[in-house]
Amino acid sequence: MKISDIERGVSVRTRVKVPIRPRAGKVRFEPEMVTFSGLCDNAEHLALVFGPSGAVPHVRVHSECLTGDVFGSARCDCGEQLNEAIMHFGACGGILLYLRQEGRGIGLYNKLEAYRLQIVNGLDTFAANRALNFPDDPRDFRVAAQMLQALGVREIALVTNNPDKAMQIAQHGIEVNRCLCTGVFANETNRSYLHAKVVHHQHSINLSGDYQ
């Protein structure tokens, strides 16, 4: 697919600097929050631009996780990954794309129902999705490529453990120069969740060490 085919009709809507403070620590950063018009799914996705990080910017594509990002759920590692990205980009520059794709795209209520199936029936995170008649991971990362192209970014170093995320973004016109793994944020509650991502979808997560 040509870049021009994706870009057509997509533009930056608003840029505004917003002081933010990661949930761990007292340091404060002031990224530029960027909104967009014409994205393929019409959702309110957000880019946080923390300043230059070289010719090939570091980029984290983070799917919204209310339970983890806001309430610190121990069932996933989303909140820790988000906090890590903010701390790193705040210090070194980079772009955080915050996508409104709760529950790997199935929504908040369905995600909590999937949690119930995991707890009550012993299903892993992907089997729970399938029990609710959803694919393992229905997310479409074309919108991330659109956002980057609207920002004038054509080549990135992608901060991710998910090979499918890198593949989809590359397929939609962004050159993924390299992938950088996130930290490993395992605990007694989320270890089976992380293990399922490694086994079923080849995420790059080293679970050989102790819990963090």
| CA dist., res. 193 & res. 55, Å (int) | 35
- In a domain, residue 94? The reply is yes
Report pLDDT digits (tens) over 156-209.
999 999 999 999 999 999 999 999 999 999 999 999 999 988 988 888 888 886
Report pLDDT digits (tens) over 50-92.
987 778 999 999 999 999 999 999 999 999 999 999 999 999 9
193 with 94, same domain? yes
Q: Which residues are catalytic?
A: 137, 139
129 with 178, same domain? no
Q: What is the CATH number of the domain that holds 158?
A: 3.40.50.10990
Quote the strand ranges of 122-199, DSSP E: 155-159, 175-180
| Strands laid side by side in the 46-49 sheet | 11-17, 32-37, 46-49, 95-99, 58-63, 155-159, 175-180
Report pLDDT digits (tens) over 11-44.
999 999 999 988 777 889 999 999 999 999 999 9
Query: For residues 6 and 57, which has the higher predicted lDDT (pLDDT)?
Result: 57
What predicted TM-score, i.e. pTM, was given to this entire model?
0.92
131 with 148, same domain? no
57 with 130, same domain? no
- In a domain, residue 69? The reply is yes
| CA dist., res. 37 & res. 11, Å (int) | 5
pLDDT of residue 209: 61
3-state secondary structure of 123: coil
Length of the chain: 212
- In a domain, residue 70? The reply is yes
Contact residues for 72 (Cβ-Cβ < 8 A; gap 6+): 23, 79
pLDDT of residue 26: 80
Our count of domains for the chain comes to: 2
Q: Show the domain range for 172.
A: 3-101+141-201
